Chains A and B, each alone.
Chain A
Amino acid sequence: EAAVTQSPRSKVAVTGGKVTLSCHQTNNHDYMYWYRQDTGHGLRLIHYSYVADSTEKGDIPDGYKASRPSQENFSLILELASLSQTAVYFCASSVDRYEQYFGPGTRLTVL
């Protein structure tokens, strides 16, 4: 069974602060993704990676950075958190063109 874990599961941050969301997968998958979920917008791709030490911009990358230090780990970094970044964030992994496996999500609230 595929396994993608995220930490923290919930976080409250202050405007202007730095936030790091972490994702770990034990699937041995090459591809990893970060999405945000908002009511009325569904799931939107922020960043993705197909190999360690390399990341690519998705559809809504502004205000976010990503880091892939190893095949198993993929982080999403908000250098200066803003109110508009309050959302639920999902990490996913996949093997090439096969199914994406999602983690349980991180609920981020920026105050």
Chain B
Amino acid sequence: GDSVTQTEGPVTLSEGTSLTVNCSYETKQYPTLFWYVQYPGEGPQLLFKVPKANEKGSNRGFEATYNKEATSFHLQKASVQESDSAVYYCALRGDSGYNKLTFGKGTVLLVSP
């Protein structure tokens, strides 16, 4: 079956520093890749998605490139803020039906002022 592996947290950073959260995946299908973010006390919400290989997705200063050859989708941000503290999930959806997502275990990001 499908699987997603991402950086184990927590990741602790100071404001203004750069972020990379690694994500690698395994699937026999042609996936769409997602990054979701979950703030404390809330449900996950979509950060962005990339349906095609070699394309980049971005939102709120975060970005990730769908690297089909390396089966990776690493999340990056040049300068984090305290408000970015959250749990980040990498996920994939195969090209079979039912819009079924497979999530990674999540990475906790803690940003100190």
Contacts and interface: CB of A to CB of B under 8 A. Distances in A.
A61 interface: no
Interface in B95-111: 97-106
Interface stretch (B12-20, B39-47, B61-69, B75-83): B39-47
Q: Which residue, B44, B99, B102, B104, has most C-beta atoms of chain A within 10 A?
A: B99
Contact of A43 (B42, B46, B89, B97): B89
A44 B103 contact: yes
Given A31-B99, A45-B100, A56-B98, A102 B43 contact: yes
Nearest to A9: B41
- Please report whether the interface of chain A is mostly helix, strand, loop or mixed according to DSSP: strand
Interface in A10-41: 31, 40-41
A92 B43 contact: yes
A45 B99 CA distance: 12
A94 interface: yes
Interface residues of A, number: 26
B99 A105 contact: no
Interface in B24-64: 32, 41-46, 49
Contacts of A97: 32, 93, 99
30 contacts: A4-B43, A31-B99, A40-B105, A42-B103, A42-B104, A42-B105, A42-B106, A43-B106, A44-B103, A45-B100, A45-B101, A48-B98, A48-B100, A50-B97, A50-B98, A58-B100, A59-B1, A59-B102, A90-B43, A92-B43, A94-B99, A97-B32, A97-B93, A99-B46, A100-B46, A100-B99, A100-B101, A102-B43, A102-B45, A105-B42
Interface of A: 4, 31, 40-45, 48, 50, 56, 58-59, 90, 92, 94, 96-105
Interface of B: 1, 32, 41-46, 49, 89, 93, 97-106
